Structure 1
Amino acid sequence: MNDHGRHQGTFPGAEHVDAIVVGSGFGGAVAAYRLAEAGRRVVVLERGKPYPPGSFPRTPAAMARNLWDPSEGLHGLFDLWSFRGTGAVVSSGLGGGSLIYANVLLRKPEHWFVRESPLPGGGYEHWPVTRADLDPHYDAVERMLQAQRYPFGLPPYDATAKTRAMREAAGRLGLEWELPPLAVAFAPEPGARPLPGLPVPDPPYGNLHGLPRTTCRLRGECDLGCNDGAKNSLDHTYLSAAEHAGADIRTLHEVRGLAPAPGGGYVVRYVVHDPRDEGRRTPTRRLPLRTITCDRLVLAAGTLGTTYLLLTNRSAFPGMSRRLGARFSGNGDLLTTVLRARDDAGGHRPLEGSRGPVITSAIRVPDALDSGRRVPGRRGFYVQDAGYPPMVEWLAEFAGVPGQFRRAAFFLLGRLRAVLTRSPQTRINAELAALLGDGHLSDGSLGLLGMGRDVPDGVMRLRRGYLDVDWTTRTSMAFFTGMRATMQDIARVLRAGYRDSPLWLARRVITVHPLGGAPMGRHPGEGVVDGYGQVFGYPGLHVLDGAALPGPVGANPALTIAALSDRACDRILEAPAARPGRTGTAAAPAPAPAARTVSREATGLSFTEEMHGHVTLGAADPAEGERLGRANGHRLMFRLTVTVDDGERFVADAGHEAAMTGWVSCDELGGEHLPVQAGWFNLFVREEDPACRRMRYRLHFADAGGNPLTLVGWKDVRDDPGADAWRDTSTLYVRVLEGHTGPAGDGGARVVAAGVLAIRLPDLLRMLATFRTRGPDGPACLARFGGLFLGELWEVYHELAGRVRVP
């Protein structure tokens, strides 16, 4: 184990376990089970809540609250993200994405495990694993999730219109069609006859929800959460088995901080969301951070969650690859719709999108890499039937506004006529049927979900403390054009209309399969983790979710993520269990500013200063850090209030020391408005060189994950050739140190970052307007402070300079 973080202090009394798993999706659930089964002490930290059968919302009121934003009182299932070129839908709940995915367990095609495949703009996609490496683990995951194909050849499943239509379309277009394995219980147990609504017996490891389950009722509600428990989601399978093996699963526990622990292992900081806060706004940034340590840390919070955690805690991992945030991909996701299908005679053809599970079948379009099926330049993809719950069909019918208004008008006119003519016809069933319409719009329509090998050239970074993704469809346009052409061909052979998503007008897509951010590679210059998901340079730290993928899976990625996690666990369990010491050599934290005894008659003052500049992680020289930081757009700024309790004593004291409060903002250090916990300011401290004065800044703060940092800054005021008084008093050279250090401890602290800040003229004018005094003699206090400031400047730039220059 490494000894990074030795200045962060010890954690007396903190809980310690063998392994912490952050997140409970396909990577985390597999790791939790495998490690717990092997006898390791495992804690799973999941930010969302459990969803037993029957608890998934369906009513409009409940669905409106079924979103994740605890600061707004929302503890729901769906977590939606909108970036500049794309959007993403992910899950927050025990079981992760398995709660809302469409159950498909396809393997990544063998030839799509590309090696050194060039990408636009430089670089390449490279998979350090092969299909042969993963096949045994694919097998293991399929067994655990009890994969079954949709029983299309048996009644009542053979009447599924959308499955029949997809098979027919593939046949007419000469494309491959299949019934993919699904993690759905159609039969109560292997070998039994599939029928809807039959009781599903619990497996030997039990069911952590303790509620009954039934086989699939074909309601098309998979993506909203299965209230029947027919989905073999991770809570019913891997997580139940993990809990049975002794794993401690903690829901509503959201991880904020990560860091190497003193002496080895890792420290994790998290907050707990109180279920009683659901429905009301909560200042979640003020929730107390709790601490737990471990020998191994598995990050499996999903592509967005894991990458965000690593970015916000990057200051604690100085050796982490610069590829962090690279290789983002949406897995080629694209949703379109075929409308009003017709049969060969021109009559209405039902597609019944709401009958069956969401996805029943898949059409595969080959890649240029597929043996014997080479199409130059083509990046392969799948097109799958994308069903939906019945409520969507009602919405579709009522969305046809002109027709609905016309039918409503005819109905009202008919009832008015009956009243005026006193018609004896009291049965109005035909009129109501006409009001409802024929339903051909919803009955003859079907969503098409495409996914495949888009170009993984996106970059994830922090922007003003928020996760941002720089990815557009531009470099993947040939891929999307080919996919849309196939979807249009499917609509054509079904004699249906075709409609793109409204977002496509702006060439935007929404992905439900975001991938990348901490990609696998052969070395740190190529990736963040190795082929087993272990972070380069940090033994015992693993990324086992979609963030580790170096490019698109092409197929639905759930099975591949789970198989990669299963493979990684083999490697983890082959190694001897780590038992590093946790005492470390941590430096004692710096003392807080000394309490001063202030006379009731003392007069103090305060002012607020704002400075901006650039820094670079890993740089020790401020000038070099500023140069690189400016080139890469790595900004740092602070806003600080300097408070002098006693102006007279401040002037008389040789250290001229005052307290500082405020905040620091820097995406490279975790985000915006990081509060200063303690701060010291020294004005014009005399150095060994009598011709020099120094202004000193020392700020204790923490990154977004709670990892303690110290900003040490100085302004050198000396008379160099030229007019340099403004530059000297407005330029701050800074280093950011690991831990909270005092002046005596700086020599042993690791330098996290360095750079240069400056005060701009508009900021200086604003600062002058912030001067305030308190006490009986404000004008005199300001005069003393100003006299000190100007007097020291006069001495440096005139008197001392004159003594040096005149013989």
Structure 2
Amino acid sequence: MSRLSLPRAALKPRYDVVVVGSGYGGGVTASRLARAGKRVAVIERGREIPTGSFPQKFSDLRHEFRVTGKNFRSGSEQAIYDVRLGRDMHVLVACGLGGGSLVNAGVSLVPDRRVFTDHAWPGQIAQDGMLDEGFRRAEAWLRPVADPRAREMTKFKVLERAGRAMGAEPVASRIAVTFEDTVSPAGIAQAACTRCGDCCAGCNVGAKNTVALTYLPDAVNHGADVFTGLKAETVRKGADGVWKVMLRASAPEPGEPDETTIEAPVVVLAAGTLGSTEILLRSRAAGLPLSDKIGHRFSANGDIIAFGYGAKTPVNAVGVGHPAKVDGLEIGASVSGQIEFRDPETLSNQLNVQEGALPSAFASVLPVMFVPNGRLLGALQSLISGVYKGPFASLQTFFAVSHDSASGRFSLEDDALSLAWENAKDEPVYARLDAILSKLVAESGGAYVKNPLAGTVMGHQPATAHPLGGCGMGRDRTDGVVDHKCRVFNGAAGAGDTDVHDGLYVIDGAVIPRSLGVNPLLTITALSERAMLHFARDRGLSYTTAPAAPAAA
């Protein structure tokens, strides 16, 4: 597969549409509007990482973390993992062409219908039927399926035994991964999953249906220009009514200016919950009138990542990579199965617990991670025998999602994004998850480890890899930042409550005004497809969503 991104010198001063960000929201937008005949530019702050180039050793992986706290920052702006350490909560997001799809587990679930009838959403979301069409289109392009051999994976069997002892039956998770050789909707050949377990460090097989293998190449095939290493700082409207996006080079090139401006009558912010919210907060500080709700209703989606240490039987939940580090050992995808805890009376009590796998690049550092919790003996044993045979062969990893109160709030401090959520660690969801995970681990004969890094700079704050909100949908500007079509409300003194900035959109997880209770990738994609349906209808455009023909060999 040829590279998608262009040299920075190819950037034109003006396009019909500028899309900031290249995750699910940005990918959908770029594909659909390029298919509609628009001249589209996609701006991504990270770098392009071709299949086969994701880190497989810790010596490579350790350079892929950008860590930012209140008074410090370390690592490259081009690192794949962007870790924000906060006073009340930590947030992990991805950086690279394809956004979070590069390093997520690909779990693709539809939320309980009660989520969308909640008063947090504008009524049209549940009423006009276009979200259902959005989900249909999202599934057609991301192609989520359950691994047909999920129940054969050791980590699934361990979850199954523990779940049944608690009266809960696991199911195979639907994931955006292909388990047979195929061709993506963008016409790109994809190899079948090898069940190496490395999804969350980047799929070197090419089996995961990332945005970089689906929507983005489709956009390029229809004429979109893609640029990496550029970060949007602000948006403002010129006297001619055209939007101006100020860009800064996150990876400066010799002889190129560090800053530049690009123009378009339509700008779509799709830089993720943190990125899009920060751009709008900085733009408001520069004079753009916005809703007073900007930065409000941040949700961690009831997330938790936790571990079980010392299970009585092997779990095989550490990836082997591709090519495999251990011959003949199948781990499965990062997530093969889950237990769904349902509550027909109280939506906030529902949660999903998924068995997970840590990528192979983490293998050599796992013993060190668990030393702070007093497991020095096991760590030393694993250093001698290796994590695939020692105590870490019985390490359990859990990814869980549920519901929280979406009470976090973003602001700018010293021109940087800051998150405040007083008493976030006391959200009821965490006690529920701790209780269930403790029981599951105990049934396997292990000890529950909520955070192996609790004695380090990570502290005891909760952490999320599924940040939502900050630019939430609302009925009007007193209720949200964007309307149900993802158009940004105009906060000017003389504007009406439902007036919008013509041509300015936010289309990503930032518009979701509450927790989803499931991994959000499919919902973000569906909301993006829905926004494009409205965009086309409002502007008299048309496009097809038929898959492309396979690329020539």
If the length of structure 1 is used for normalisation, what is the TM-score?
0.57
Q: CA deviation at 1:15?
A: 2.6
Contact 2:66 2:74 in 1 (8 A): no
- 1:404 & 1:498 partners in 2: Cα distance? 16
- Provide the secondary structure at the position in 1 that maps to 2:16: strand
2:149 is the counterpart of 1:174: no
2:487 is the counterpart of 1:530: no
Q: CA deviation at 1:366?
A: 2.1
2:398 is the counterpart of 1:401: no
Residues 1:402 and 1:24: Cα distance change in structure 2 (over 3 Å): same
- 1:407 & 1:515 partners in 2: Cα distance? 37
Residues 1:269 and 1:405: Cα distance change in structure 2 (over 3 Å): closer
Report the equivalent of 1:21.
19
Report the equivalent of 2:335.
359
Q: CA deviation at 1:525?
A: 0.4
Residues 1:504 and 1:404: Cα distance change in structure 2 (over 3 Å): closer
The higher relative CO (CA closer than 8 Å, separation ≥ 6) is in 2
Cα deviation 1:95-138 (Å, max 9, x = unaligned): 0000011111111111122523xxxxxxxx44542395422211
Cα deviation 1:362-387 (Å, max 9, x = unaligned): 212224xx3xxx25x85322111121
Larger radius of gyration: 1
Contact 2:298 2:468 in 1 (8 A): yes
- 2:390 & 2:135 partners in 1: Cα distance? 41
Deviates more, 1:100-109 or 1:466-475: 466-475
2:122 is the counterpart of 1:150: no
Cα deviation 1:47-85 (Å, max 9, x = unaligned): 111111111123333223223599965522111111111
- Provide the secondary structure at the position in 1 that maps to 2:114: helix
- Provide the secondary structure at the position in 2 that maps to 1:490: helix
2:433 is the counterpart of 1:486: no
Residues 1:217 and 1:276: Cα distance change in structure 2 (over 3 Å): farther
The count of residues paired between Structure 1 and Structure 2 equals 495
2:281 is the counterpart of 1:308: no
- 1:308 & 1:445 partners in 2: Cα distance? 37
Report the equivalent of 1:130.
126
Of 51, 54, 63, 2:52 maps to 54
- Provide the secondary structure at the position in 1 that maps to 2:469: coil
- 1:25 & 1:379 partners in 2: Cα distance? 30
Q: What fraction of aligned residue pairs are identical, expressed as a percent?
A: 30
Residues 1:527 and 1:504: Cα distance change in structure 2 (over 3 Å): farther
Contact 2:315 2:396 in 1 (8 A): no
- 2:219 & 2:387 partners in 1: Cα distance? 51
How does 1:612-627 map onto structure 2 within 5 Å? none
Residues 1:142 and 1:204: Cα distance change in structure 2 (over 3 Å): closer
- Provide the secondary structure at the position in 1 that maps to 2:15: strand
Contact 1:127 1:550 in 2 (8 A): no
Report the equivalent of 1:335.
305
Report the equivalent of 2:415.
465
Q: CA deviation at 1:273?
A: 4.6
- 1:66 & 1:577 partners in 2: Cα distance? 43
- 1:402 & 1:353 partners in 2: Cα distance? 19
User: What is the RMSD of the two structures over their aligned residues, measured on CA atoms?
Assistant: 2.9
Cα deviation 1:692-715 (Å, max 9, x = unaligned): xxxxxxxxxxxxxxxxxxxxxxxx
Higher strand proportion: 1
List alignment gaps of at least 5 residues for structure 1: 1-12, 117-124, 190-201, 343-347, 409-433, 579-807
2:511 is the counterpart of 1:548: yes
- 1:440 & 1:151 partners in 2: Cα distance? 29
Q: CA deviation at 1:244?
A: 0.6
Contact 1:333 1:451 in 2 (8 A): yes
Contact 2:335 2:354 in 1 (8 A): yes
Q: CA deviation at 1:577?
A: 6.2
- Provide the secondary structure at the position in 2 that maps to 1:170: helix
Q: CA deviation at 1:293?
A: 1.3
Q: Which amino acid aligns with 1:296?
A: V
Contact 2:482 2:488 in 1 (8 A): yes
Contact 1:379 1:454 in 2 (8 A): no
Of 76, 79, 91, 1:76 maps to 79
2:28 is the counterpart of 1:30: yes
- Provide the secondary structure at the position in 1 that maps to 2:463: strand
Cα deviation 1:747-798 (Å, max 9, x = unaligned): xxxxxxxxxxxxxxxxxxxxxxxxxxxxxxxxxxxxxxxxxxxxxxxxxxxx
- 1:68 & 1:486 partners in 2: Cα distance? 32
Residues 1:319 and 1:406: Cα distance change in structure 2 (over 3 Å): closer
Residues 1:272 and 1:165: Cα distance change in structure 2 (over 3 Å): same
If the length of structure 2 is used for normalisation, what is the TM-score?
0.82
2:70 is the counterpart of 1:66: no
- 1:397 & 1:19 partners in 2: Cα distance? 48
Report the equivalent of 1:232.
209
- 1:534 & 1:270 partners in 2: Cα distance? 22
Of 544, 560, 584, 2:523 maps to 560
2:152 is the counterpart of 1:159: yes
Report the equivalent of 1:93.
96
Q: Which amino acid aligns with 2:308?
A: V
2:248 is the counterpart of 1:271: yes
Q: CA deviation at 1:403?
A: 5.2
Report the equivalent of 1:804.
none
List alignment gaps of at least 5 residues for structure 2: 1-10, 68-72, 320-330, 490-499, 542-553
Residues 1:293 and 1:327: Cα distance change in structure 2 (over 3 Å): same
Contact 1:503 1:509 in 2 (8 A): no
Cα deviation 1:438-491 (Å, max 9, x = unaligned): 935212221111111111011100112221000145475322111111111211
Contact 2:58 2:364 in 1 (8 A): no
